[in-house]
A and B are shown apart, each in its own frame.
Chain A
């Protein structure tokens, strides 16, 4: 299993492969439901389904060099459609939405390229 980011969609000029994200990854709907209660107690709901789009949050612990690769990838395609094949082999097309991207130096990692571990969190929303 791996985590693959390709962009820009659909030209797919660049492909980057990353290790699987850490646990505590999340996947959720982007829908909103507004509740309105009438004076007689009837509950009305106003739903914005957003076509069932989903939002994902992944946190990665990367080698220093791989973190640089992700930073360069995001720098090139932060506002472009990208395709992600996640660690579950699910394919998503959408945008990374978090801002800013924060790469945090976590500690030494002698056997890893760059000799340092870096953590980064990605927020991704499907296009539709």
Chain B
């Protein structure tokens, strides 16, 4: 820039400001403006207006003013009359966090709507349009009631042909060349659901429409997977035992404590099922195992609740359906059909739970109302059944870890451990035996 005392007229014939004469002898004018605008008051005012407007203009040989004015916006314009490069990147992070305190069960909601538009008169210059969006909702607390997380993205590009595309949770990419052009649009969507009852549906519509395009590349990649965390293969055992036994037993005080059913004498009548001759195998350790409740039953675990072992006075009930009649002569007759139902139930009381465990228990009860669950008891035995008294309240017996719960499970107990997760090849077993056993008399 050079100055002298000679008056110079502008290109449009208007005189410049007195005392300042500008001769443009370079093609580039750089203008950097750093501005801090601040409004403060120590007095009381009803209204305070605070707006920051920034206009940066560079004048060329032929005056064609570009201007941009906005609040909290930056417009940068260069003087070439036909082309302009505009690069506009904006990143907005919005983060809302809330701690879910006791008594404060309001869900955390976080909605972030961001629209970013780049508008250019001439489409001949490259336009870079970057939209960075982070939308996050975090609920902190022992119990996450509800966290709604809605993300809406609207990405618009207006072209000279007035093409307009708007969609939610969609990515639209246009190359708006008037006559020729290639459009390559690749959309990869992975939807994964790790839940028990797998209702996993993925709907994807991917459309590429070209009116005057010579080439269209339309690549649709879909990954839809269902992964089972366990694959239970039911054990099929069919054991045929044919035997004839003759047994004596010696009454021993120690035998009265052990599991010692003696089966024998004859095998003439086959309409009854003998009890097993051995105790069901212990699959757990009562000193270390806990009371674990699973949902759902016989499927991959979606919910799990672990409690301490219950108190004594647990009750293992076996109720049967039978008909009891007395003849006219007073003889008692009892009958039951093998297909008539029998009910097995387990009633337990657990004490010493803290508030979190008690609340987790109620949450589990509510989530599994009327549904079959599995319970691995403190001896490692597996039950499947329904909680019949979910309305039973939790009781705080004292300060601290003093919550007590009680429930009754009605269902059945598996005599063995979980169905194996591996294929069982043992299958069909045929045992034939004929033995005579003499126990010391």
Contacts and interface: CB of A to CB of B under 8 A. Distances in A.
Interface of B is mostly: loop
B265 to A, nearest CB: 5
A82 to B, nearest CB: 10
A53 B332 contact: yes
**Which of B266, B272, B280 has the largest number of chain A CB atoms within 10 A?**
B272
Given A53-B330, A68-B280, A127-B332, A101 B318 contact: yes
A45 interface: no
A114 to B, nearest CB: 8
A52 B330 CA distance: 8
A17 B251 contact: yes
8 contacts: A14-B263, A30-B330, A68-B280, A69-B261, A95-B324, A100-B318, A102-B316, A113-B258
A70 to B, nearest CB: 9
A1 to B, nearest CB: 9
B335 interface: yes
A128 B312 CA distance: 39
B259 to A, nearest CB: 4
A101 B319 CA distance: 6
B259 A68 contact: yes
A30 B332 CA distance: 11
A15 B262 contact: yes
Nearest to B256: A19
Interface string B249-282: 1010101111111111111110011111001100
Interface string A40-69: 000000001111110000000011011011
Given A78-B320, A128-B332, A2 B251 contact: yes
B261 A14 contact: yes
Nearest to B261: A16
B314 interface: yes
B314 A104 contact: yes
A86 interface: no
